[in-house]
Structure 1
Amino acid sequence: MPIDTRFDPSGSLVERLDLPPLGTGPLDGLTFTVKDNIDLAGYRTSYGSPAWRDTHPAPVHNALCVDQLLAAGGRCVGKAVADEFTYSLDGENPFFGTPRNARAPERVPGGSSSGSAASVANGLADFSIGTDSGGSIRVPASLCGVWGMRPSLHRISEAGVLPFMPGVSTVGILSAQRGFLDAAARVLLRSGEKPVASPKRLLLLSDMLEVADAAVADQVHAALEQISRHCGLVAEPVRFSQLIGEDLPLSYCNFEALRDLQTAEFQSTLGNWIETANPELGYVFSMAYGNVRQFDRIARLDSLTRCERLFEKINAGLPEGTVVCFPTTPVIAPLKGSLNNLDAVLDFYDRTMIATAFSGVGRLPEISAPLLTVEGCPVGLSFAAAHYQDEFLLSAVGEMLAA
């Protein structure tokens, strides 16, 4: 049943709910929220857009990932705000508002899983599920100072998750505590009792430090020194070109591969509906959608081949037992309303997506850990492993960061 959202001063939720568990298991006693592009039976899914919500019926079934969590003992307490059509990394929705960044209230929470990150950061739930294609879990996790995991592509069922960019998008988890993230991830991944090895090698993607603000890079080095003292693993700097064995910059993952795939898929999944339904659009989204509308997918079809080649090369450079780390975002959260000119938008998006596109094209599992603080604001430190090495990554991060 819906609960009055006036009891959510953080603005994290579209609706506050109370959906009881369907069984018992590892999530007994834990509460969670669901990003509003993931179906809950009987409740309209907005996709961050009132126009979409009002022209589509309420689903009959929950998304399968929601049923997994309920069956494992979790209790769903709300639908979380998402950026408009989930096509943003800043977390400012003109229709549903900007969820409160608990660690930096004057700054944006990051998106597009803005309400998911904010709901756990503000103590409304133990964990939340969202989606990530270009960083939509990892960016708000970093900017809000919570844990976030983007699993390997398609490890978690996307049945009942509104289509966005199927070649890139995945369901993932955010939480204020690593233990809750770990428990929810293992339920969704259907992990069972798979044995995993300890991490043998820790790589530092040094190109990302060159993209990041100097203060962020300094914090990365400090955090890695602590990890080394704790577990004995010393981070080895490696450039992207060394990792893949080809003289390409890290930015190639974004500008020459992932971004084109995202845009082409968005034309098919949402563009067709937008062009025919002519819905009301927010100003910022309408500007971004102008680029989608003008995109020449035929001229850029080679980018799909580039994505596949990068997937193979990145994973060949991450043998068993290897973890690679880098700052989740190169900057702290921008001030609310500051992304109002092209230069500011390009600086935030281009640098941030250089970081997030790496795991995107590699289809890697990535965990953003809330380990860094710059100017009083949180920044995540990300750890990634090879494709389908999700359980190894969960355990490796636990070993490296255990108190």
Structure 2
Amino acid sequence: MPQTNASDPSGSLVERLDLPPLDQGPLDNMTFTVKDNIDIAGHRTSYGSPAWRDTHPAPVHNALCVDQLLAAGARCVGKVVADEFTYSLDGESQFFGTPRNAKAPRRIPGGSSSGSAASVANGLADVSIGTDSGGSVRVPASLCGLWGMRPSLHRISEAGVLPFMPGVSTVGVLAASFADLDRAARVLLRSGSKPVTPLSRILLLSDAMEIADLAVQEQVRQSLDDIARRTGIAVEPIRFAQLIGEDIPLSTCNVGALRDLQTAEFQSTLGNWIETVQPELGVTFSMAYENVRRFDRLSALKSVTRCERLFERINAALPAGTAICFPTTPVIAPLKGALNTLDAVMDFYNRTMTITAFSGVARLPEISAPFLSVESCPVGLSFAAGHYQDEFLLSALKSILAAATS
């Protein structure tokens, strides 16, 4: 049976906490939660797995990203549910239950930062810190109608974050408002006051649009038409092959690059422990892990090289002042329990990861903005920028929002 917290109707809490700020700062009066693969001193970290929690001691120190928020004036109010070993995008946990999607209660919240999204969307905290490898911050942000940022790879310290896929995984932030996302992200990014290039060009990744449901495509077009009208910046459609100067499909970012790197790294991090300890595994994770177990590591080496080539070419096409946009997810949140056949799972994961792998393989900062709605369900519109242009991306979204209210 899932382990639930009766006092938490959101289903997001693993443990309610009240850790006061370490100092005053830009995050005074802000509350935050922490995904349960990020260490909090004196509290066992589950990694979404009771077996991991019960066989590892409580950490002595907080993860550095937790201390950053506490030292900036924020208060930590809880550890929140993560999908098992954070190896999922749906947010349905056999061990900890399915956190409530506040905007669409009959639907999944998305994962693996499911508890992070639910805790913010249900009003338990202003922001939450999660992690993102293949979309684990961006997907729940999109499906729950939140702001979600995956920063440039390794811009935020991962000290005290449990090992997963170090070549692609990063700490990210979810928030109910852009203002709170901006405040928290700038603390974690250690942003200074250096001026950034203003937004001057917006590209639309056409391949990602074509993957999305027709209703999502229509909402993207309407939103971008409005943004273009208000900012005076025409949105330029561009195909992936045009962007990188090579005739290959967008799906190469996923099946020919990022996914192989993820799988090989997972074998080296979690796989070693799983094979040695033989812990109890959830049914869904067990099926996914069989693919990891059978994976030919040598086949990943070409993909690692391809990741580097794609990183270089995508970033060369995204100079300062340029943002590229696309639907964060190609669909609205599936109904709970709907991912119960291989066809349904493959459709959701393949289409979604074809889009999310773009920023992952290029190590881009990406922000999912809650700009879209289909059938009364939220969908995110993502904006990405070149590697280490995180502050530019935050400023670009701020300027888009300012134009919308002027």
Indicate the TM-score class for this superposition, using the shorter chain for normalisation.
over 0.9
Aligned residue number for residue 128 of structure 2: 128
Structure 1 residue 230, shift from structure 2 partner: 1.6
Instruction: Give distance in 2, aligned partners of 1:275 and 1:326.
Output: 39
Instruction: Give distance in 2, aligned partners of 1:70 and 1:248.
Output: 45
**Structure 2: which amino acid aligns with 1:202?**
I
Aligned residue number for residue 108 of structure 1: 108
Aligned residue number for residue 68 of structure 2: 68
Aligned residue number for residue 187 of structure 2: 187
Aligned residue number for residue 295 of structure 2: 295
Secondary structure at the aligned position of 1:381 is classed as strand
Secondary structure at the aligned position of 1:110 is classed as coil
Spell out, residue by residue over 1:323-361, the C-alpha distance to the aligned partner (whole angstroms, 9 max, x if none). Answer: 000000000001100111100000000000011000000
Query: What is the TM-score when the length of structure 2 is the normalising length?
Result: 0.98
Aligned residue number for residue 178 of structure 1: 178
Aligned residue number for residue 315 of structure 1: 315
Aligned residue number for residue 26 of structure 2: 26
**Structure 2: which amino acid aligns with 1:191?**
S
Aligned residue number for residue 387 of structure 1: 387
Structure 1 residue 232, shift from structure 2 partner: 1.0
Q: Percent identity?
A: 78
Aligned residue number for residue 278 of structure 1: 278
Secondary structure at the aligned position of 2:297 is classed as coil
Secondary structure at the aligned position of 1:298 is classed as helix
Aligned residue number for residue 139 of structure 1: 139
Structure 1 residue 320, shift from structure 2 partner: 1.2
**Structure 1: which amino acid aligns with 2:75?**
R
Which aligned runs of 4 or more in structure 1 are off by greater than 3 angstroms? none
Instruction: Give distance in 2, aligned partners of 1:231 and 1:197.
Output: 15
Aligned residue number for residue 84 of structure 1: 84
Instruction: Give distance in 2, aligned partners of 1:397 and 1:244.
Output: 25
Aligned runs of 1:36-55 on 2, under 5 Å? 36-55=36-55
Structure 1 residue 319, shift from structure 2 partner: 1.1
Spell out, residue by residue over 1:242-284, the C-alpha distance to the aligned partner (whole angstroms, 9 max, x if none). Answer: 1101111101100100000000000000000000111100100
Instruction: Give distance in 2, aligned partners of 1:198 and 1:273.
Output: 47
Instruction: Give distance in 1, aligned partners of 2:261 and 2:218.
Output: 33
**Structure 1: which amino acid aligns with 2:230?**
H
Secondary structure at the aligned position of 1:52 is classed as helix
**Structure 1: which amino acid aligns with 2:138?**
R
Spell out, residue by residue over 1:190-247, the C-alpha distance to the aligned partner (whole angstroms, 9 max, x if none). Answer: 0021211210100000111110000000000000011112211111000000110111
Aligned residue number for residue 202 of structure 2: 202
Instruction: Give distance in 2, aligned partners of 1:10 and 1:299.
Output: 42
Aligned residue number for residue 7 of structure 2: 7
RMSD of equivalent CA atoms: 0.8
**Structure 2: which amino acid aligns with 1:234?**
A
Structure 1 residue 7, shift from structure 2 partner: 2.6
Structure 1 residue 5, shift from structure 2 partner: 3.9
**Structure 1: which amino acid aligns with 2:186?**
R
Instruction: Give distance in 2, aligned partners of 1:138 and 1:21.
Output: 27
Secondary structure at the aligned position of 2:379 is classed as strand
Structure 1 residue 179, shift from structure 2 partner: 0.3
**Structure 1: which amino acid aligns with 2:74?**
G
Instruction: Give distance in 2, aligned partners of 1:194 and 1:19.
Output: 32
Secondary structure at the aligned position of 1:78 is classed as strand
**Structure 2: which amino acid aligns with 1:339?**
L
User: Do structure 1's residue 158 and structure 2's residue 158 form an aligned pair?
Assistant: yes
**Structure 1: which amino acid aligns with 2:286?**
S
Instruction: Give distance in 1, aligned partners of 2:345 and 2:138.
Output: 18
Spell out, residue by residue over 1:164-193, the C-alpha distance to the aligned partner (whole angstroms, 9 max, x if none). Answer: 000000000000000000000000000021
* Equivalent pairs, count: 400
Structure 1 residue 401, shift from structure 2 partner: 2.0
Instruction: Give distance in 1, aligned partners of 2:362 and 2:77.
Output: 33
Instruction: Give distance in 1, aligned partners of 2:154 and 2:135.
Output: 15
Aligned residue number for residue 249 of structure 1: 249
Instruction: Give distance in 2, aligned partners of 1:284 and 1:278.
Output: 16
Aligned residue number for residue 360 of structure 2: 360
Structure 1 residue 301, shift from structure 2 partner: 1.1
Aligned residue number for residue 58 of structure 2: 58
Instruction: Give distance in 2, aligned partners of 1:277 and 1:176.
Output: 39
222-231 or 28-37: bigger deviation: 222-231
Aligned residue number for residue 400 of structure 1: 400
User: Do structure 1's residue 268 and structure 2's residue 296 form an aligned pair?
Assistant: no
Instruction: Give distance in 1, aligned partners of 2:318 and 2:397.
Output: 16
Structure 1 residue 76, shift from structure 2 partner: 0.1
Instruction: Give distance in 1, aligned partners of 2:150 and 2:378.
Output: 19
Instruction: Give distance in 1, aligned partners of 2:272 and 2:238.
Output: 42
Secondary structure at the aligned position of 1:305 is classed as helix
**Structure 1: which amino acid aligns with 2:318?**
L
Structure 1 residue 119, shift from structure 2 partner: 0.5
Instruction: Give distance in 2, aligned partners of 1:228 and 1:195.
Output: 24
**Structure 2: which amino acid aligns with 1:369?**
A
**Structure 2: which amino acid aligns with 1:240?**
F
User: Which segments of 5 or more consecutive residues in structure 1 lack a partner in the other structure?
Assistant: none
Secondary structure at the aligned position of 1:28 is classed as coil
Secondary structure at the aligned position of 1:236 is classed as strand
Secondary structure at the aligned position of 1:168 is classed as coil
Structure 1 residue 300, shift from structure 2 partner: 2.8
User: Which segments of 5 or more consecutive residues in structure 2 lack a partner in the other structure?
Assistant: none
Instruction: Give distance in 2, aligned partners of 1:130 and 1:230.
Output: 33
Secondary structure at the aligned position of 2:298 is classed as coil
Secondary structure at the aligned position of 2:24 is classed as coil
Structure 1 residue 6, shift from structure 2 partner: 2.8
**Structure 1: which amino acid aligns with 2:158?**
E
